[in-house]
């Protein structure tokens, strides 16, 4: 088993534009959807994503805040992040993590009605890097 650090994983995750966020539904089923990931940010174990307050994603997180993120990078690099999600409506906090690329989904930027941010704090990261695999616990 490989022993990469969080800093090593951050370099591998840099530039990954999309992730898949998985939540648990009311009936205990898993629900996954793509989310825009700001790959320009150095990953430190915390991720931020924007959505709408009436989305299924938000509904699921209100019921069960345990989520998983899945990343696919270059050269057969994959990572899954298990973490705890927090819903944030504070505009100042959202402004800190806003990227102009998000205008594609939120036409009025942070003024878009019902906009909400999801913060995911990683608890465990499992990765596969070619033939190597390993785990980082936070």
The closest of 9, 5, 72, 84 to 47, measured between CA atoms, is: 84
CATH architecture of 6-137: Roll (2.30)
Over residues 22-33, mean pLDDT: 96
Q: Model pTM?
A: 0.92
Average pLDDT over residues 38-60: 89
Each residue's pLDDT tens digit, 62-103: 999 999 999 999 999 999 999 999 999 999 999 999 988 899
Position 85 scores a pLDDT of 98
Domain borders along the chain are 6-137
Residue 38 has pLDDT above 90, yes or no: no
Residue 15: its pLDDT value, please? 81
């Amino acid at each position: 088993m490989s022993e990469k650090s969080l800093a090593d994983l951050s370099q591998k995750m840099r530039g990954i534009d999309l992730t898949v966020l998985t939540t648990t539904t009311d009936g205990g089923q898993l629900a996954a959807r793509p989310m825009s990931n700001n790959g320009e940010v150095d990953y430190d174990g915390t991720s931020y994503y924007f959505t709408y307050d009436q989305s299924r994603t938000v509904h699921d997180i209100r019921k069960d805040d345990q989520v998983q993120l899945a990343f696919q990078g270059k050269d057969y690099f994959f990572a899954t992040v298990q973490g705890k999600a927090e819903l944030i409506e504070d505009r100042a906090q959202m402004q800190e993590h806003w990227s102009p690329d998000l205008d594609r989904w939120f036409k009025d930027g942070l003024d878009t009605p019902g906009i909400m941010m999801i913060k995911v704090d990683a608890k465990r990261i499992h990765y596969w890097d070619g033939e190597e695999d390993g785990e980082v616990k936070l």
